[in-house]
Structure 1
């Protein structure tokens, strides 16, 4: 499961679809609707929020908006909670780690998109997150 801290605009079509599915799985875990992935480390930052379900709902809403902007028809009714959620801190080192990881994926899977994004020095985060000082997050499994 990869719940990107990066803005979903940077993802290729396969990555955006995968993000939607994985975030829906994360939502199911946080709702207690599945036994799998209960200990997945990427869920830690959502569980730290006053309402993990609201946080993942806010995350999914941005993914849905990006998909809609691209002309995809993701089912927004699958989002359990749609509410405004304050920013979640994410370390700058985590954002760098994810950007490098995404660039490696795109170089192989979608060279044209890799070329489009390779000059980005400071990628934008998913709007749910706010960058703060720090290295790679403790929950990341490099």
Structure 2
């Protein structure tokens, strides 16, 4: 499961689609709708906020908005809490840098024409707020 902390606008098609699919799975897990993935490390940051279903809803809404802007059809009715706000989940600058490097490696293999669209410094997705620090403790480098 890769729930990108990066702004959806820099994700290539494969990363955006996979993040949407995995975000929907995360939504189901956070709502208690499945027994699997309940201890997945990337869910920790959503589980630590006051309203995890709202946080994942906000995250999914940003992905859906980016997909719509690109002409993709991500079904917004699948978002349980589409109008939810999010207090700004902290994500470290080190995590953002790690994810950008990871995305860069993936894009170099599967969509090299997308590489020029990747920034030098990563911006966080709308659900996150950048804070100083290294790679997150839940990451598996």
Measured against the shorter chain, the TM-score band is: over 0.9
Q: Which residue of 1 aligns with 2:102?
A: 101
**Following the alignment from structure 1 to structure 2, what is the Cα–Cα distance between the partners of residues 59 and 78?**
13
Cα displacement (A) at 1:122 = 1.5
The DSSP-based 3-state class of the residue aligned with 1:61 is helix
Q: Which residue of 2 aligns with 1:122?
A: 121
Structure 1 stretches of 4+ with a deviation exceeding 3 A read none
Whether the aligned pair in 1 keeps the contact of 2:10 and 2:117 (CA below 8 Å) is no
1:33-112 equivalences in 2 (<5 Å): 33-82=33-82, 83-112=84-113
1:17-28 equivalences in 2 (<5 Å): 17-28=17-28
| Structure 1 stretches lacking a partner, 5+ long | none
Q: TM-score, normalised by structure 2?
A: 0.96
The DSSP-based 3-state class of the residue aligned with 1:22 is helix
Whether the aligned pair in 1 keeps the contact of 2:93 and 2:130 (CA below 8 Å) is yes
Cα displacement (A) at 1:10 = 1.1
Cα displacement (A) at 1:135 = 0.4
**Following the alignment from structure 2 to structure 1, what is the Cα–Cα distance between the partners of residues 46 and 63?**
16
Equivalent residues, number: 140
Q: Which residue of 2 aligns with 1:4?
A: 4
Cα displacement (A) at 1:15 = 1.3
CA RMSD after TM alignment: 0.8
Alignment deviations for residues 4-48 of structure 1 (CA, whole Å, 9 cap, x no partner): 000111111111111100000000000111111111000000000
| Structure 2 stretches lacking a partner, 5+ long | none
The DSSP-based 3-state class of the residue aligned with 1:81 is coil
Q: TM-score, normalised by structure 1?
A: 0.96
**Following the alignment from structure 1 to structure 2, what is the Cα–Cα distance between the partners of residues 132 and 15?**
24
Cα displacement (A) at 1:80 = 0.7
Q: Which residue of 2 aligns with 1:30?
A: 30
Cα displacement (A) at 1:116 = 3.0
**Following the alignment from structure 1 to structure 2, what is the Cα–Cα distance between the partners of residues 86 and 71?**
29
Cα displacement (A) at 1:68 = 0.4
